[in-house]
Amino acid sequence: MSIRAQTLARILLAGAFALAVVPAAAQTRPGPAQTVTARSHMVVAANPLAVRAGDEILRAGGSAVDAAVAVQMVLGLTEPQSSGIGGGAFMLHFTAGEGALVAYDGRETAPAAATPDLFLKPDGTPLTFYDAVIGGRSVGTPGTVRLMAEAHRVHGRLPWARLFEPAIRLAREGFAVSPRLAALIAADQPRLSQHPSTRAYFFTPDGLPLPAGTMLRNPDYAATLAAIAERGADAFYIGEIAADIVRAVREHASNPGRLSVEDLAGYRVAVREPVCGSYRGHEVCGMGPPSSGGLTVLQILGMVEHFNMGGLDPGAADAAHLLAEAGRLAFADRAVYMADQDAVPVPVRGLIDTSYLTLRAQQIDLDRAIERPRPGNPPWRDARLWGADNSLEFPSTSHVSIVDRDGNIVSMTTTIEDAFGARMMVRGFLLNNELTDFAFAPMDNGRPVANAVAPGKRPRSSMAPTIVFDREGEPTIVIGSPGGARIIGYVAKALVGLIDWRLDPGAVVSQPHVLTLGRTVELEEGTPAAALEAPLRARGHTVQVRELNSGLGVIVRRDGRLHGAADPRREGIVLGD
């Protein structure tokens, strides 16, 4: 199917259902995704309007980063529950002419006034998740706008202001609320309607959730974007917009936070080395700490590389068991060792050392689940004994994969953390709740937790934007997904699907999910994976069958062409030339 034909079909399908609110579960797995092909450029993202904006910029001569800016600004409007300028992002960028790969860390930071007891009650016990989330307490310093500006400064081709035109136009003229957004608004009504700003935007005057098909305009967001387009990132971080963000955070009626105007003015993007490891002769590169995504994906791959994954049936219990066991061991390490490397020592080299992963893989019994996976003792680690932090991010995030006509690549995962973030809007955009990605308790059995809250620290993430290179060093795969801590399992299994099972992108993003967050093995309900429950239980696994709402975006370069697919569980599409 051609790109244009597939896109038209997806847009018409979305329109056909625009008059009814579709429950979230009903939107799951509408059918297998198509693999589409392009000659020289491609954009994959979770919303058709955002993809069209990126494609518009690429056709105007823009770079992959230019397109990413345009896509992000539209996502913040049309998919506000997942990402936006009130949140943060990680971006991998490959420069084709130089063969250079760099990682941009636009993760939120804790306020300078943050203390380890930020999420503890007066009696010293942790707050419940939503008691911490809703309000100003959970809001970190947003990083997305600074990241976009820094990446554009280095890799941009079109004028900065040009990149904001599609989003400003849509915000002023309005867009149709999608079935997925309408279902999420309805599902979150008790929380989302608490704050006056979100109640006024996402609900009718009668207090009802906006139905699908509603034309939604956001002049406040248009004005915010126009200011950033005209004056650059400083318009967001210094001045009236920053003051309004801080006021909303600190003056929340029941759950005020500690963000200051100095926190925003002082925010800086960190430019980092990607973490890379070998898998079946490919070099797999991802985002390092403060994200655990790249390291944990590499650990899983490094362990299953010791098994003949290519000789296994992708849908059978043996493959599921091996992926689950490798995931359980990797998550045990993640809980102890992975956090912001600028604040605590993280044994990056040791965690993906091939000898260490060989030892970890030797714990895997083909016939029996490990009773209780424990963290290992990787080389080059700090001698300090850390406590475990098993806190998990919730699955509201978005992913963007882009290749431009010159072969430059962006793999970017972007988020405001939980769906609709802190449930507060400022000047047309939602504020993040990223601080709840820190451990709520700073100590575990008398040991300090690496991912504890600290001033200026970046909370641990699981976002895993990834670029894979072949034996000749040429980029061949661009991939990532939303999904909170489940991102790790989604990306790892997709890479096994592409490399070991030689599936095309459409088949990979449509695979039934099997993953773990360290203890339970999760199987995707309503798919053939659910039939694995009994054989996995027979091997000693604790199993849960549940909805697993990934949002994989994949581009593969093969035979001189680009082949891409968007996860059918969300509303994404693919566009290219």
Phi, psi of 489 (to 5 degrees): -65, -40
Q: What is the DSSP letter of 541?
A: -
Per-residue tokens: 366 = 């083909």
Q: What is the DSSP letter of 384?
A: P
79 contacts: CB under 8 Å, gap ≥ 6 = 46, 47, 50, 181, 398
Query: Helix, strand, coil: what percent of the chain each, to 5?
Result: 40, 20, 45
Q: Which among 213, 417, 439 is positioned nearest to 338, based on CA atoms?
A: 439
Query: Is 368 within 8 Å of 540 (Cβ atoms)?
Result: yes
Three-class DSSP labels, 136-167:
HHHCCECCHHHHHHHHHHHHCCCCHHHHHHHH
Determine the Cα angle at 265 with ends 264 and 268, to 5°: 80
Query: Is 141 within 8 Å of 237 (Cβ atoms)?
Result: no
Query: Is 496 within 8 Å of 326 (Cβ atoms)?
Result: no
| Catalytic (active site) residue 141 | no
Query: Is 455 within 8 Å of 533 (Cβ atoms)?
Result: no
**DSSP β-bridge partners for residue 91:** 104, 412
Q: Judging by beta carbons within 10 Å of its beta carbon (0-12, 13-18, 19+), is residue 250 exposed, middle or buried?
A: middle
Amino acid at 217: R
- Catalytic residue (one of 37, 397, 413, 436): 397
Helix (H) or strand (E) holding 270: strand 270-272
Measured distance CA(461)–CA(288) in Å, rounded: 10
Residue whose token pair is 């809250």: 453
Q: What is the phi-psi region of residue 445: left when phi exceeds 0, alpha when psi lies from -120 to 50, beta otherwise?
A: left
Query: Is 323 within 8 Å of 515 (Cβ atoms)?
Result: yes
Phi, psi of 509 (to 5 degrees): -70, -15
Query: Is 216 within 8 Å of 224 (Cβ atoms)?
Result: no
Query: Is 431 within 8 Å of 425 (Cβ atoms)?
Result: yes
Per-residue tokens: 91 = 């971006």
The residues annotated as belonging to the active site are 397
